[in-house]
Amino acid sequence: MERDIYEEDHEAFRDLVKDFVKRHVTNEAMEKWDAAGEIDRDTMLAAGEAGLIGLSVPEEFGGAGMLQDYRFRTIVMEEVIAAGAGSLAGAFGIQDDLAVPYLVHMGTQEQKEKWLPRMATGEVLGALAMTDPGAGSDLRGIKTNAKKVDGGYILNGAKTFISSGTTADVVVTFVKTGEGNRPDAFSLLLVEKGMEGFDQGKKLRKMGFHGWDTAELSFTDVFVPEENLISGKEGQGFIQLMLNLPLERLSIGVAAAAAAQAALDWTVAYTKDREAFGERIADFQNTRFRLADMSATTEAMWAYIDRALLAYKDGRLSAEDAAKVKFWATEREWEVLDMGVQLHGGYGYIMEYPIARAFTDARVHRIYGGTNEIMRDLVGRQIVGKR
């Protein structure tokens, strides 16, 4: 079934994205990103100039003002992931889906004016730091704390698994500013690269997304001025995180569908071209069965994702809805990618083939943004009602 979610302006934007991909997302570029363990700043600046990042930044601050119409971001992910550049798609997502929205929705006017114009261009890159070592998905279990002092806060602690953590110029950081673990005991601070005591140096080696940096951050008596408190109000951090989690989880679901679509397309092309026992692999009955499964699953994913995109656009995507999208889509993604690798045979295990990179990239989709087990529990509680 053909998707009908996009309008004329979306397809015009797709042409722009395809042009960027053709010019900047080459095999040589991807090899460079993998070797460096991060996306180079020139590529991010080029993306800003082309309008591929900053989509969620309001027009008054130099962006496209498309925060609620996530179809534009979906097109970026579709085309970049189709080119085999999952790491680049991830770096774009951190900027537009995790860092920028906190400033757009919750930042003070001064914070917006200081950061958003440069985030729209790629001059400033952002990140979101929620997870403490040992805390995982238990956000209320964090130990990273900020003590109020004259003019600001003294921040101590550590964060781990922080995507874009080494390249980020500003990190939206979830910290304890009160006692206990009540929602009002937490706040969000903007921690800037170069602040004394802020160390972004430990880049983590990962199974996948080799071209996208993930870091462990440490904070040792870091002074953060009070003007860097998101919204200017203490004790709002937990609620602020909850407000943006539906977008984060929707974005993971979209990435999963885009990866499944790419895997299907790569596998169809490979099986039509590859021969064994004097026949195309595509002519074997088992191959046709598997391709049929992959195709049907991918179409179902897009039907679900497209419905969620429209719900988000209209302000109707609840936390539970987004959790369903996240866990269901990422598990279907894994099934499709696994079939794709199998149909590639030994070449599916070779990293020069995009299916292999996508396979290792996809594993974290069921972990970050809240593990799929946590997602199921969230949905289950909503269904039965927790006492």
Distance CA 97, CA 1 (A): 29
| Domains in the chain, CATH or no CATH each | 8-124 (1.10.540.10), 127-235 (2.40.110.10), 239-384 (1.20.140.10)
Residue 289, pLDDT score: 98
Q: Locate 182 and state its tokens.
A: 């009540």
Residue 264, pLDDT score: 99
CB 43 within 8 A of CB 53: no
Distance CA 298, CA 290 (A): 12
Residue given tokens 């897009």 in the structure block: 302
Distance CA 115, CA 34 (A): 28
Active-site pick, 38, 248, 279, 333? 248
How many helices and strands, by DSSP H and E, does the chain display? 12, 9
Residue 140, pLDDT score: 77
Helices (H), 281-353: 285-313, 319-343
Catalytic residue list contains 248 = yes
Identify the H or E element spanning 188: strand 186-192
Residue 93's nearest CA partner among 73, 70, 66, 122 is: 73
The size of the chain, in residues, is 387
Residue 101, pLDDT score: 95
What is the pTM (predicted TM-score) of this model?
0.95
DSSP annotation string for 265-281: HHHHHHHHH-EETTEEG
| One pLDDT digit (tens) per residue for the chain, 387 residues | 789 999 999 999 999 999 999 999 999 999 999 999 999 999 999 999 999 999 999 999 999 988 889 999 999 999 999 999 999 999 999 999 999 999 999 999 999 999 999 999 999 999 999 999 977 667 777 999 999 999 999 999 999 999 999 999 999 999 999 988 898 999 999 999 999 999 998 899 999 999 999 999 999 999 999 999 999 999 999 999 999 989 999 999 999 999 999 999 999 999 999 888 889 999 999 999 999 999 999 999 999 999 999 999 999 999 999 999 999 999 999 999 999 999 999 999 999 999 999 999 999 999 999 999 999 999 999 999 865
Q: Locate 50 and state its tokens.
A: 């082309």
**Can you state the angle between helices 237-273 and 71-82, rounded to 10 degrees?**
40
For residue 323, with 0-12 CB atoms within 10 Å meaning exposed, 13-18 middle and 19 or more buried, which class applies?
A: buried
Task: Residue 365: count other Cβ atoms within 10 Å of its Cβ.
Answer: 22
Distance CA 277, CA 175 (A): 61
Identify the H or E element spanning 264: helix 237-273
Residue 96's nearest CA partner among 121, 132, 78, 60 is: 121
Which value, to the nearest 10 degrees, does the dihedral of the CA atoms of residues 104, 108, 114, 116 take?
Answer: 0
